[in-house]
């Protein structure tokens, strides 16, 4: 049996052989965690510790479950793993519920409602409770209820603890929605996690039988478990205590969907006799990449300390790209891809470009097309194919061509105007009878036999279109789109919905607005609405994959988890973008973990890029370089000119040293000493106390320049020293 484990390293082997009692394996990026889980399953079966049917292995994706099962089959030479319970939490728990859910008053042939089914039932509940979607958006309620379920908060408890208005409304809907699910003999996706907990609590004999069956419990990606999953695992393993969890707290990046990092951080508090094994030997990345990742993640306070070590050579230093704006950033990335392909013979598939938000993909996509670089968007669809973008563009198309019935039907209820299919059918009949277009029928709706409510809705719609069309005759594309968003409140509605999906859609619309501003600024003489729409049409018709699997991968950092690429570009490394609007220490630490995940996807080379200005909400904004860049060991980062960042900092530090109390303090690069108390046109002066909406209270150390280019170096109490563009910073002098 010893030969069976020869291809494992020492720590992996020890973890596999620790067969009794609680075990935690902290598996750093690229350290072979899947191998440890599969070898442990095979070890238990081969050595007679348990038969396959006595082992339960839980994962988070069907892909991971399939890969594990295949590996176990290979190790056991097929067949021996028959009866092994391995799958996602949801699939395994659904299987368990089929046997015993009748004890909770459901039939065994219960339905599982998907997100759309769930949404429809919540909508019915809102209707019966006379709750208007205008008061609380349906998606908001669905999100609140889902988070409550994942935290195993049932309707009665949720009602008692409901705080703000949205939660109080959600409490009413949650209660009725739960009753309606039971009436339909149905469970939603979240119920697959909480119904087993209810079953275990109300019928302990069921739990005891499962505990006797599953003598060994293994959980992959333990850092991603939520409270319901944590409780289920604890209850199932309580009798034999053979719980084996594998994960990495440094890669916990899903708190927004319910993951609780404290589950892995507190594992040894839950199981004081637990054995812990740290897998730190990385088989993916060069030593330099791991040195960079280690230097960043050690800044987190809530973590289990470990340092990744490379199985490979040191490799190339990281390269810092400093761009004027987001377009310049994308251009540089394209240039590097071409030059590296020539120099090293890499295929396009060797490159990945990461960004923090989906909206950032737009400029990157544009430049990839212009430079004939094949690409594919992962984890999302191409920018111009996203629903909210197609909806907004349909408005613009219809302004130019009111015979475009496809665009008309797309926008007539965006945002909702309560113009249903029946009303549209009657409008079609009216148009055909009069021999006019569908839009003409809308403008002449008062001539038809329609209800006054419908006539008023149609008049409001046509008035909007005519106002925008008038503006389009003389105004810029940016002006038209700004007015559209203002009159319809589409972005505002998405922002107020406050779900992960709605906020991403809001960001995409703001990026479209930025694109329109950029287009208008760069095409003052021929930037017509038609030209703008032609640009979008050509872009949206681009064949991303080029009928090949050889393409550059574009994705958010979240979508990159579990993947690896020889060359990685991490873009948009600016304050308030990456890290993204962090106001709490816990949020900042998760952003840092996200950056750590991005870096540890790279095998050979990392490029870090940031832009000095970036369009935001259609306006150019001055950007501050991300704090994460400064957290990387500067001796392993080079500028594009080849200068080691540590050397540049040392030279700049010497040049900018100024006397202070008999010694020296260092000014950041670019800061220029100004005469004390010299007033500036903004009213700022050295020594002023100011307040910033994000960074709080601070003291002005230096002011440089005048007018639109004026910058201020400020030391904030809680955020440290920041250099801000005064015209964008909205500083209040105290």
- What CATH number is given to the structural domain containing 40? 3.40.50.300
Identify the active-site residue in 225, 251, 286, 482: 251
> Is residue 415 assigned to a domain?
yes
Residues 86 and 206 in one domain: yes
pLDDT score at 662 = 34
State percent of the chain over pLDDT 70.
91
Mean pLDDT check: name the lowest of 463-472, 514-523, 526-535.
Answer: 526-535
> Is residue 487 assigned to a domain?
yes
Token pair of 75 as six digits:
């190790």
Q: Is 547 a catalytic residue?
A: no
Residues 85 and 224 in one domain: yes
CATH number at residue 160: 1.10.10
Question: For residue range 555-589, what is the model confidence (pLDDT) as tens digits?
Answer: 999 999 989 999 999 999 999 999 988 768 899 99
Residues 569 and 641 in one domain: yes
Residues 354 and 390 in one domain: no
Domain termination residue (choose one: 258, 279, 300)? 279
Q: Is 33 a catalytic residue?
A: yes
| Number of alpha carbons in the 13 Å side-chain half-sphere of residue 77 | 2
Q: Which position has the token pair 């200068």?
A: 643
> Is residue 724 assigned to a domain?
yes
CA–CA separation, 225 and 297 (whole Å): 21
Binding positions for ATP: 27-34
The parent domain of residue 589 ranges over 309-374+548-650
CATH number at residue 436: 1.10.486.10
Q: Which residues pair with 660 in a beta bridge?
A: 663
| Residues in Cβ contact with 659 at an 8 Å cutoff, skipping those fewer than 6 apart | none
Identify the active-site residue in 221, 249, 326, 574: 221
- Domains identified in the chain, total number: 5
Residues 608 and 466 in one domain: no
Identify the active-site residue in 14, 19, 34, 704: 34
Residues 351 and 394 in one domain: no
Identify the active-site residue in 33, 417, 593, 680: 33
| Number of alpha carbons in the 13 Å side-chain half-sphere of residue 488 | 27
Residues 218 and 91 in one domain: yes
Question: For residue range 478-502, what is the model confidence (pLDDT) as tens digits?
Answer: 889 999 998 888 888 888 887 878 8
Domain termination residue (choose one: 623, 650, 677)? 650
CA–CA separation, 304 and 278 (whole Å): 10
Question: For residue range 406-461, what is the model confidence (pLDDT) as tens digits?
Answer: 888 888 888 888 888 888 888 888 888 888 888 888 888 888 778 888 888 888 88
In whole numbers, what is the pLDDT of the chain averaged over residues? 86
**In sequence order, what DSSP letters do the residues of 292-352 get, joined into one string?**
HHHHHHTT-SSS-----EESS---PPEEEEEESSHHHHHHHHHHHHHHHHHHH---GGGEE
Identify the active-site residue in 220, 366, 402, 590: 220
CA–CA separation, 370 and 364 (whole Å): 10
pLDDT score at 673 = 33
Q: Is 601 a catalytic residue?
A: yes
> Is residue 71 assigned to a domain?
yes
| Residue 408 CA: distances (Å) to CA of 102, 427, 554, 604 | 50, 12, 32, 50
> Is residue 531 assigned to a domain?
no
> Is residue 187 assigned to a domain?
no
> Is residue 683 assigned to a domain?
no
Residues 442 and 329 in one domain: no
Residues 129 and 13 in one domain: no
Domain termination residue (choose one: 589, 621, 650)? 650
562 class by beta-carbon count within 10 Å (0-12 exposed, 13-18 middle, 19+ buried): middle
CA–CA separation, 680 and 341 (whole Å): 50
pLDDT score at 658 = 37
Outline where DSSP puts E strands in 175-325: 186-188, 216-219, 243-247, 275-279, 281-282, 309-310, 318-323
Q: Is 34 a catalytic residue?
A: yes
φ, ψ of residue 17 to 5 degrees: the values are: -80, -10
Q: pLDDT category, 653, cuts 50, 70, 90?
A: low
Q: Is 273 a catalytic residue?
A: no
Total residues found in the chain within this entry: 734
Q: Is 685 a catalytic residue?
A: no
Residues 229 and 362 in one domain: no
Residues 421 and 351 in one domain: no
Residues 83 and 210 in one domain: yes
pLDDT above 80 for 263: yes
């Amino acid at each position: 049996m010893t030969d069976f484990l020869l291809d494992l390293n020492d720590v992996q082997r020890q973890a596999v052989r620790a067969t009794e009692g609680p075990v935690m394996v902290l598996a750093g990026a690229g350290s072979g965690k899947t191998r440890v889980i599969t070898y442990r399953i095979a070890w238990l079966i081969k050595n007679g510790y348990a038969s396959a049917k006595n082992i339960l292995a839980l994962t988070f994706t069907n892909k991971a479950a399939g890969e594990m099962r295949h590996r176990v089959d290979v190790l056991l030479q097929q067949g021996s793993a028959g009866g092994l319970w391995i799958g996602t939490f949801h699939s395994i728990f659904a299987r368990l519920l089929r046997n015993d859910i009748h004890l909770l008053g459901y039939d065994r042939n219960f339905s599982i409602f998907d997100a759309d089914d769930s949404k429809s039932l919540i909508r019915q509940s809102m209707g019966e409770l006379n709750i208007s979607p205008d008061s609380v958006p349906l998606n908001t309620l669905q999100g609140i209820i889902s988070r409550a379920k994942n935290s195993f908060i049932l309707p009665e408890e949720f009602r008692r603890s409901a705080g703000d208005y949205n939660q109080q409304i959600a409490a009413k809907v949650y209660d009725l929605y739960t009753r309606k699910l039971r009436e339909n003999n149905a469970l939603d996706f979240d119920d697959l996690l909480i119904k087993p907990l209810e079953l275990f609590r109300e019928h302990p004999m069921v739990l005891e039988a499962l505990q006797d069956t599953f003598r060994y419990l293994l959980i992959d990606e333990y850092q991603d478990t939520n409270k319901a999953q944590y409780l289920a695992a604890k209850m199932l393993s309580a009798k034999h205590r053979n719980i084996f969890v594998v994960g990495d707290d440094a890669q916990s990046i899903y708190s927004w969907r319910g993951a609780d990092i404290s589950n892995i951080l507190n594992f040894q508090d839950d199981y004081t006799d637990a054995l812990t094994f740290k897998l730190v030997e990385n088989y993916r990345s060069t030593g330099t990449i791991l040195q960079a990742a280690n230097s960043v993640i050690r800044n987190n306070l809530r973590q289990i300390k470990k340092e990744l070590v490379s199985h490979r050579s040191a490799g190339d230093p990281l390269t810092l790209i400093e761009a004027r704006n987001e377009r310049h950033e994308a251009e540089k990335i394209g240039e590097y891809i071409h030059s590296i392909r020539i120099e090293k013979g890499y295929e396009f598939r060797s490159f990945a470009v990461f960004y923090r938000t989906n909206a950032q993909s737009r400029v990157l996509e544009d430049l990839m097309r212009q430079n004939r670089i094949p690409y594919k968007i992962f984890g999302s669809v191409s920018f111009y194919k996203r629903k909210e973008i197609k909806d907004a563009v349909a408005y613009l198309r219809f302004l130019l061509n009111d015979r475009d019935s496809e665009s008309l039907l797309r926008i007539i209820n965006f945002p909702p105007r309560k113009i249903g299919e029946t009303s549209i059918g009657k409008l079609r009949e009216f148009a055909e009878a009069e021999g006019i277009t569908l839009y003409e029928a809308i403008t002449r709706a008062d001539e038809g036999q329609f209800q006054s409510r419908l006539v008023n809705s149609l008049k409001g719609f046509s008035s909007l279109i005519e106002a925008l069309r008038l503006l389009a005759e003389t105004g810029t594309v940016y002006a038209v789109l700004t007015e559209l968003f203002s009159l319809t409140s589409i972005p505002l509605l998405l922002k107020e919905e406050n779900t992960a999906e709605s906020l991403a859609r809001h960001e995409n619309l703001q990026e479209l607005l930025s694109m329109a501003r950029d287009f208008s600024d760069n095409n003052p003489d021929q930037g017509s609405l038609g030209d703008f729409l032609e640009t979008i049409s050509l872009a949206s018709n681009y064949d991303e994959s080029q009928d090949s699997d050889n393409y550059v991968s574009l994705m958010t950092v979240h979508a990159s988890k579990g993947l690896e690429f020889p060359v990685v570009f991490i873009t948009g490394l600016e304050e308030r973008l990456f890290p993204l609007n962090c106001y709490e220490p816990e949020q900042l630490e998760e952003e840092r973990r996200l950056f750590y995940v991005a870096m540890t996807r790279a095998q050979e080379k990392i490029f870090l890029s940031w832009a000095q200005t970036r369009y935001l909400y259609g306006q150019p904004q001055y950007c501050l370089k991300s704090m994460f860049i400064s957290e990387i060991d500067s001796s392993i980062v080079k500028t594009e000119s080849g200068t080691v960042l540590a050397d540049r900092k040392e030279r700049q530090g010497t040049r900018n040293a100024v006397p202070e109390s008999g010694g020296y303090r260092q000014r950041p690069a670019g800061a220029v000493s100004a005469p004390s108390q010299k007033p500036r046109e903004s009213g700022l002066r050295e020594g002023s106390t100011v307040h910033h909406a994000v960074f709080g209270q601070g003291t002005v150390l230096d002011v440089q320049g005048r007018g639109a280019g004026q910058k201020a170096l400020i030391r904030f109490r809680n955020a440290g020293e920041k250099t801000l563009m005064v015209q964008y910073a909205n500083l209040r002098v105290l």
